[in-house]
Structure 1
Amino acid sequence: MIRVSGASLVVVALLFGSYHGLLGIVSLPEYSNQQFAWLAIATYCLALLLVLFDKPGIRMRLISAIGVLIVVVIVSQLIYGSLSEIREGSYATWHIAALSTLLAVVAIRQHPTIAWIGFILLTLQLFAWGGPQVIFNSGLIGGLILVAVAQAAYQAIISSAKRAVEFQIRSIDIDSAVTAASAARAEKLKRLQDTLSTALPLLEKIRDQSGELSDPDKREAILMEAQLRDGIRARALLNQDVIQATRNARLRGVEVQLLDDGGLDDLSEEDRQTYLDEICVRLNEVNAGKVVIRASMGDGWRLTMAAIQKDADKPDLFIRL
């Protein structure tokens, strides 16, 4: 891809615009009032510098674009006020191409509507001075083409900018998806490692004893299976205190079920600890039956705890936090 720096484009535009000013100087003998002509040339040159060096970036200031409209009117009136006719091969209407160049720059620099308003003003003033018959020998057609090409360039810039933004958004989405997938894989690996480190001693014991376990070992295996299930279903609800409180409750014969639906995911560690402490306190109060602890999202509360005994009419414990 060929890349052209912004400075190079400015230099090219400055040289091209200066050429029109030079044509104005060459055409000075054709004007009845050369002071008006000199003033028109100077005004145009200042406007050229304004549109090219208005401010960094592609979009020029609105006030500068409106200033070009004023220049279109002033320069045209100065020229027509000192020119009676267009001679064959003359550059006396140099200002048509010059002002069209200014308007083209205005269009490229993100103000195409103002550029076309300026071209309409330029055309109306030309027709008011010389009538429709001067349309082909005044440079107006070339000016029209110049502004139209600038309009197309403006649309290409806008389209390119939109595609760049869309590409950036897609790139961010892809990066986010990759990061999320990596985090999910890391989390799964961590859970697997934690599970193995927790269950491995018991599994080795089962292997060594060929599955012949004592009653205490069988109870330990049941507790271990429940703890592993908690780690899968309710990892966010677990810390060492909750694990121990849950184990103690199960040793007392309480059936404990932990479920995590993301209710505590957006909390800070300190706030989350408050809920976990409450779980421990409430679990230690239950001596029989079944306890269901659930962290839910979107229900108006974050944590639900319910304890009920078999054949009971109402729960022994029901709280929402």
Structure 2
Amino acid sequence: MITVPRGLVLSLAALFSSYHVILALYSLDAPTSPVPPLIAIVLYAVATAMSLWPTSPARMSLWLGFFNVAVCIAVPLLVGSQLDGSVSDNGYATWYVAAVGTLMTITATRRRATLAWAGVGFLFAHTIVWAGPGALASMGVIGSMVWVLVAVMLSRSLAKAGRDARQYGLAEREATEWQAAQEAHLYERQVRLAQTIRLAAPMLRRIIQEGGSLSEAQRQECRYLEGAIRDEIRGRKLLNDAVRREVMSARRRGAIVTLLDEGGIDDLDGADLEVVLNTLADAMAATTAATIIARTAADGSGTAVTVVGINSPDPRLSALGQDSPDEEVDLWLEIPRASHALGETVGRATRRH
């Protein structure tokens, strides 16, 4: 997108406005009294300087817009009061017509179109009352109104182009993010598939070699592998080599292990994630619970992973006719996200009955 430096535009507008001031000073000998035109020149210069201030925002403040309109009302009244409207040509003494058009063009460019039309509208009405309808063209009132019209149209076109550019930029960013997400999902699927093949390939080859006739130990090993594959799908980022090792160890001793990654640790990566997973592996290695559940916490919480270990009631009590106690919580551990808090978490668990 081609842009024009703001300083260049302001400089050109300032030079053009200064030209009107020079014409006004040159024609001070024409009016009956120079005081009202001098006041008009000062008002116009102040309004122009405030409207072209370099650090001002693109959209003109409302109070400044009303001030410009007030100046456009005062300047024709002040200068016109010292001129004869019946004269066909007052020369440069009617400098205020172009000055009002310039000031209102600046106002329209700075997104105050309604106020700009109000300013040139008063100039139009004043000229008809003061010099008659025939003076609208000869004094340049029509030209001033055309300037404002062009400024309004350009401002709206530029504003629309800016909005379109922002929308296109937003759409491009969304498309880029979508593509990155798709590539990330594809990469993750490839990683999970490779991990699954690494786990299942040896057993599949053994099944082929044995013709499907497996011993009970081999069947149990297949169940362990099926659980490990299920972990790769549901556990996702909850897995590293240490966690995989402890999960398999717990299953081999008869425990039921469930890993659920619901996206709560997607923002963790690198060393922070490894510390969390190693803490999870240590907790699983330290418990003898019959059921172990590890689950990621909700997004935005200070906890990364919650680990619960539960022991079932002793079945021998039920056989003797005694009431079975409630399940016993052998492990309850909340692994925090912050690295500095992980050292306090390792090995910490609460036992409940």
Task: Give the shorter-chain TM-score range.
Answer: 0.7 to 0.9
Contact 1:110 1:154 in 2 (8 A): yes
Which of 313, 320, 329 aligns to 1:317? It is: 329
Contact 1:54 1:60 in 2 (8 A): no
Contact 2:265 2:299 in 1 (8 A): no
State how far apart, in whole Å, the 2-side matches of 1:317 and 1:162 are. Answer: 59
2:279 aligned partner, one-letter code: D
Partner residue, 1:119: 120
Using the size of structure 1 for normalisation, the TM-score is 0.74
State how far apart, in whole Å, the 2-side matches of 1:261 and 1:135 are. Answer: 78
**Secondary structure of the residue that 1:93 maps to in structure 2?**
helix
> What are the equivalent positions in structure 2 for 1:108-147 lying under 5 Å apart?
108-119=109-120, 122=123, 130=130, 136=136, 138-147=139-148
Q: Write the deviation string for residues 131-164 of structure 1: whole angstroms up to 9, x where unpaired.
A: 7767745444443343233223322222222222
Partner residue, 1:87: 87
State how far apart, in whole Å, the 2-side matches of 1:277 and 1:4 are. Answer: 56
Listed as ranges, the gaps of 5+ residues in structure 1 are: none
% identical equivalent positions: 25
Change (3 A) 1:154 1:248: same
Q: What is the Cα deviation at residue 77 of structure 1?
A: 4.3
Partner residue, 1:222: 223
Partner residue, 1:277: 279
State how far apart, in whole Å, the 2-side matches of 1:299 and 1:113 are. Answer: 48
Change (3 A) 1:165 1:279: same
1:305 pairs with 2:308:
yes
State how far apart, in whole Å, the 2-side matches of 1:220 and 1:245 are. Answer: 16
Which has the higher mean CA deviation after the structures are superposed, 14-23 or 113-122? 14-23
Change (3 A) 1:260 1:5: closer
Change (3 A) 1:181 1:73: same
CA-atom RMSD in angstroms: 4.3
1:175 aligned partner, one-letter code: T
Change (3 A) 1:86 1:198: farther
Q: What is the Cα deviation at residue 106 of structure 1?
A: 1.7
> What are the equivalent positions in structure 2 for 1:146-185 lying under 5 Å apart?
146-185=147-186
> What are the equivalent positions in structure 2 for 1:90-105 lying under 5 Å apart?
91=91, 92-105=93-106
State how far apart, in whole Å, the 1-side matches of 2:297 and 2:36 are. Answer: 81
Q: What is the Cα deviation at residue 293 of structure 1?
A: 3.3
Using the size of structure 2 for normalisation, the TM-score is 0.68
Change (3 A) 1:73 1:320: same
Q: What is the Cα deviation at residue 168 of structure 1?
A: 1.6
Q: What is the Cα deviation at residue 223 of structure 1?
A: 2.0
Aligned length: 317
Contact 1:21 1:45 in 2 (8 A): yes
Q: What is the Cα deviation at residue 278 of structure 1?
A: 4.7
Q: Write the deviation string for residues 241-266 of structure 1: whole angstroms up to 9, x where unpaired.
A: 32222111211122322222233334
1:260 pairs with 2:272:
no
Q: What is the Cα deviation at residue 183 of structure 1?
A: 1.0
State how far apart, in whole Å, the 1-side matches of 2:81 and 2:53 are. Answer: 30
Q: What is the Cα deviation at residue 233 of structure 1?
A: 1.0
Change (3 A) 1:89 1:197: same
State how far apart, in whole Å, the 1-side matches of 2:123 and 2:175 are. Answer: 51
Which of 265, 286, 302 aligns to 2:288? It is: 286
Change (3 A) 1:281 1:49: closer
Partner residue, 2:188: 187
Partner residue, 2:58: 59
State how far apart, in whole Å, the 2-side matches of 1:161 and 1:74 are. Answer: 36
